[in-house]
Amino acid sequence: MLTKGPAKRVVIFLNEDTQHHLTALHDALMTFLMHKGVSGATATRAFSGFGSHHTLHTPKIEVLAEHLPIRIEFIETAEKVEELLPALYEMVTDGLIEVQDTTVVKVARKSPGPEPKLPHEEKRGRATLLRVFLGEADKWHGEPLYNAIVKKLRMLDIAGATVYRGILGYGAKGHEHKRSVLHPMRDLPIMISVIDGPDKIAAAAEALEAMLEDGLIVTSGVDMVRLVRGHTVTEASNATGTSR
């Protein structure tokens, strides 16, 4: 099963009219990959293109419209790709097979139906609290900074983050930030609160420091009591990186 981490990306280029045992080769390849348990594959039909024969295939020329390029792409583990390559090599008699190293950042799957849940879990221990203070009008590459910070925290696998919008406040410059009838869209104070392990918080603080031009980052040690809802068997397996 495909999981987060190093993987291989395979791309196969061929013509739409290429045959394999009286069947369109692209259909035969997709059927083969599905039967071999590949996590997923996509076949796309190009608008135009040319290959080693240096003939331009385009729908503008009726006689060449049926020769349009087909691109099949899938991502799998290195072991799975090594298993499939000999058969793919034999099947693609006129085309190109490309294999690249890649990294799977996220694997998300919807459950086909309800699964029984495991018992609720309670976690206790020491943790680190990170709080970031900034202004609502602060930007990062054109988007609200608080929104960009939450996205960054998710990419760093931080357990969770909460954004609080203040109604009144001031900072080191002594400027008062408030909402009023006359100024309904003032730069209201924003606080982002995060709790996780010391190592993760240290990495997050370093990353956020580069994003923050005018604000404050505070960390402190806390005692954590976390109640975790009962996961399904599939969710628990994905969280630990194991498969059933």
Last residue of a domain, one of 54, 74, 104: 104
Answer yes or no: is 181 within a domain.
yes
Whether 233 maps to a domain, the answer reads: no
Residues of the chain under the 50 pLDDT cut? 62-65, 180-184, 241-244
Residue 85 lies in a domain: yes
- The residue range of the domain holding 12 is 5-104
Residue 238 in any domain: the answer is no
Q: DSSP string spanning 188-206? A: -EEEEEEEE-HHHHHHHHH
Of 104, 139, 154, the position where a domain reaches its end is: 104
pLDDT for residue 211: 93
Calpha distance 166→187 (Å, rounded): 10
Q: What is the structure's pLDDT at 201? A: 95
Residue 237 lies in a domain: no
Segment (H or E) for 32: helix 25-35
pLDDT for residue 62: 45
Please, are residues 181 and 125 in contact by the beta-carbon 8 Å criterion? no
| Judgement on whether residues 218 and 125 belong to the same structural domain of the protein | yes
Contact 59, 84 (CB under 8 A): no
The verdict on 33 and 61 lying in the same domain is: yes
Residue pointed to by tokens 């001031």: 170
**What pLDDT score does 7 carry?**
95
95 plus 126 within the same structural domain: no
Question: Tens of pLDDT along 144-192?
Answer: 999 999 999 999 999 889 999 887 766 555 555 555 444 445 678 899 9
Same domain, 100 and 137: no
Q: Measured between alpha carbons, how far is 90 from 79 in angstroms, rounded to an integer?
A: 19
Structural domain contains residue 109: no
Any domain includes 217: yes
Residue 63: what pLDDT?
46
How far is Cα 179 from Cα 94, in angstroms, rounded to an integer?
68
Q: Is the pTM of this model over 0.85?
A: no
pLDDT at residue 99, as a whole number: 96
Q: How many domains does the chain have?
A: 2
